[in-house]
Structure 1
Amino acid sequence: MKHLIPILLYHSVTGTPARGLERFTVRPDQFAAHLDHLIDDDRTVLPLGEIAEHLRSGTPLPEGAVAVTFDDGLADFAEHAWPELRSRGMPSTLYAVAGYLGDRSRWLDGPAAESPMLSAGQLSALADGGVEIGAHSMTHPQLDLLPRARAQREIADSKDALEQILGRPVTTFAYPHGHHTRAVKDLVVEAGYTSAAAVRDMFSHDRDDVFAIARLTITDATTNEDLGRLLQGRGARPAPRRQLVRTRLGRQVRRLRQTPSRSDR
C-alpha cells in the first residue's frame, strides 16, 4: 500500500492579486489558516529536498509528512508567506525563476506580467533564514517544447545563477508549468540536481518518481475543509510512475499551437 504524501503547491500570497493571477493567489489570512490546520492535524512539515532524500533512499518518512512549496519567487512571498512560516517554525521550499529576480514576472501575460519578483538579496536572506531554495528555470518556458540545447541552458544556468547568489548548492528543480518529458528529466539529472518537482495535482507517495514529484495546487478556492480532505488522502489520486495518456496528448496540442500562452500554469 502506498504511503501518501501531500506536497502543497502555492504561487502567490497577497490580498491584492494581479489580474490574471487570482486563481493562483491565496489571501494572507487564508494561508495562515492553512498552516494552522497543518499544526492542528499534527503534520510533520519537511522541505521537499528532505522528502526526496527519503524517496531516493527508501527510508520511511515521519508519520504525517507534508511539504509546503512555492513556485516562481514572487516578492509577496517575503512580505506575506515567510512571516507566517517563520512564526510557526515551519520549513518550506521556494522555486525561483532565476532570470527575473529583482524584476517582474515577465513570462506571464497582461497585468500579471508586472508582478514584482524577489530580489537576489531577499532570496539570499530567505535561504539564510531556513527556506530551501530550488531552481525554476531562467525564464519559465515550457521546457518540453524547447530545442534540447535551450532547455539545457534553462535548467543548468538557473542552478548556476542561484548557487552564485546563495553561496550554497541548489539541488532541487521545479518544471515550469509542470511540463516535462523523459528527455527533460534527463537534462535535470545531467545538470546535477538530485530531485525535481512536477505538478500533476496528485498525491506523492513512497514510490513516486524523485524527478517528477507530484504536487497538489492550492488555489484561491481551497478552503480549510478542502485541505483537510487532502490531508486525509481524499480528493486526488496517487501519482502513477508513468505520465498519463492525456498528458502526452496535451503536449501534442501545445506543440501544434506553437505559440502557447505564457500564462498557462
Structure 2
Amino acid sequence: MAGAQLDILMYHSISDDPGPTSISPRVFGEQMQALAESGLPVVSPDAMAKPPLTRSVVITFDDGFTDFDSVAWPIMRDLGFTPIVYLPSGLMGQSENWVGCNTPPRPLMGWDRVEKLAAEGVVFGAHSITHPDLSTLSPTALDHEVFRSGQDIAARLGQPVRHFAPPYGATSAAVQQCVARHYATSVGTRLGVAKLNADLYDLPRLEMFYFTDIARWKSHLSGRGNAYLATRQALRRIRSTAMRSIEKFAPTRH
C-alpha cells in the first residue's frame, strides 16, 4: 500500500550533555510538538510486530537514563504519546559504564522509577543485561544476555517483554536468531524507515540527532524529506566502508 511505513524514532538521553546520544530538552520538546501537529499517528510499540498499513510513528529510547523520567516522559505524556524504553537490566540504578559512554557517565533509572512509569503506560523492552556487543559473544553468553534481560524486566513489572534492542545496534545472523527465540521484534541503529516487508529482527530507526533542525524534521514529517534521508544513508555507507578498509589494512599488533 502506497505510503505504508513505520517511522521508528531513536533517542537516548534528553539532556544538554555532549555527544550525539544527547538531545537538548528544548529541541526534544520542539520535535514532539512538530510530531503532534503533523497529524501522523503515534502508535503502540506493539505495532512494530505488525506494521500498520498507513504511515505511523513509534518512539523509542535506549538505555533508560534518568532524564527520560524527569524530562522526556512529561512532554510525551501531555501529548498522549506512548514510547518504549529498552533497558540494560543489570545496570538499573547505576550509571552508564559501557564502551563509548559519556564522561562523566549519565545515571540510569532505578527499578522504582521503571515500575512507576510502567504503571503510567510506558512500555519497556530489553537491551541486554550488561550492554555488551552481542555479536562478539559465545552462543551461551549471547543467549544469557538476550533472554535473561527480558526475564529480569518481566519479573519486576509483572508483564511479558516483547521487544528487544541490541546494544550499539551490533547484530549478526546468530544474534537475530537468538532474539527471535525470545521476542517479537528487534530494532537496530540502521538508518531508515520500516516498510511492510521489513525484517522484524533488524528494524531500522531514525536517529533523531539528525533532525535537531526543526525545519528539516517538519519536512520529513510532511513527506518531503526523502532526499535528506537518502543523503544521510549514503554518508553512513561511505563511513562504514572507510572504517572496514582501515580495519582491514591496519597493521596487526603482537
- Tell me the TM-score range normalised by the shorter chain: 0.7 to 0.9
**SS of match in other structure, 1:236:** helix
Aligned to 2:229: 236
Larger Rg: 2
Aligned to 2:152: 161
Is residue 28 of structure 2 the alignment partner of residue 4 of structure 1? no
Return the offset for 1:205.
1.3
**SS of match in other structure, 1:44:** coil
Measure, in 1, the Cα distance between the counterparts of 2:13 and 2:116: 19
Cα deviation 1:152-206 (Å, max 9, x = unaligned):
111011011111111110000001111111110111112x211111110111111
Aligned to 2:233: none
Return the offset for 1:228.
2.1
**SS of match in other structure, 2:9:** strand
Equivalent residue runs for 1:197-236 within 5 Å: 197-219=187-209, 222-231=212-221, 232=223, 233-234=225-226, 235-236=228-229
Structure 1 residues 120-129 or 245-254, which shifts more?
245-254
Give the alignment partner of residue 53 of structure 1, picking from 44, 49, 53: 49
Q: CA 1:170–1:122 in structure 2 vs 1: closer, same or farther (change >3 Å)?
A: same
Is residue 96 of structure 2 the alignment partner of residue 95 of structure 1? no
Unpaired stretches in structure 2, ≥5 consecutive residues: 231-236
Q: CA 1:124–1:251 in structure 2 vs 1: closer, same or farther (change >3 Å)?
A: farther
Unpaired stretches in structure 1, ≥5 consecutive residues: 238-243, 258-265
What is the TM-score with the length of structure 2 in the denominator? 0.85
What is the TM-score with the length of structure 1 in the denominator? 0.82
Maintained 8 Å contact 1:22/1:220: no
Aligned to 1:28: 25
Maintained 8 Å contact 1:151/1:184: yes
| Partner amino acid, structure 2, of 1:32 | G
| Partner amino acid, structure 2, of 1:38 | L
Aligned to 1:80: 71
Return the offset for 1:39.
1.2
Measure, in 2, the Cα distance between the counterparts of 1:169 and 1:23: 31
**SS of match in other structure, 1:168:** coil
Is residue 175 of structure 2 the alignment partner of residue 184 of structure 1? yes
Measure, in 2, the Cα distance between the counterparts of 1:71 and 1:83: 17
Q: Percent identity?
A: 27
Return the offset for 1:12.
0.5
Return the offset for 1:251.
7.6
Is residue 49 of structure 2 the alignment partner of residue 70 of structure 1? no
Is residue 163 of structure 2 the alignment partner of residue 172 of structure 1? yes
| Partner amino acid, structure 2, of 1:26 | I
Q: CA 1:207–1:44 in structure 2 vs 1: closer, same or farther (change >3 Å)?
A: same
* Aligned-pair Cα RMSD in Å: 2.7
Measure, in 2, the Cα distance between the counterparts of 1:117 and 1:199: 21
Is residue 27 of structure 2 the alignment partner of residue 39 of structure 1? no
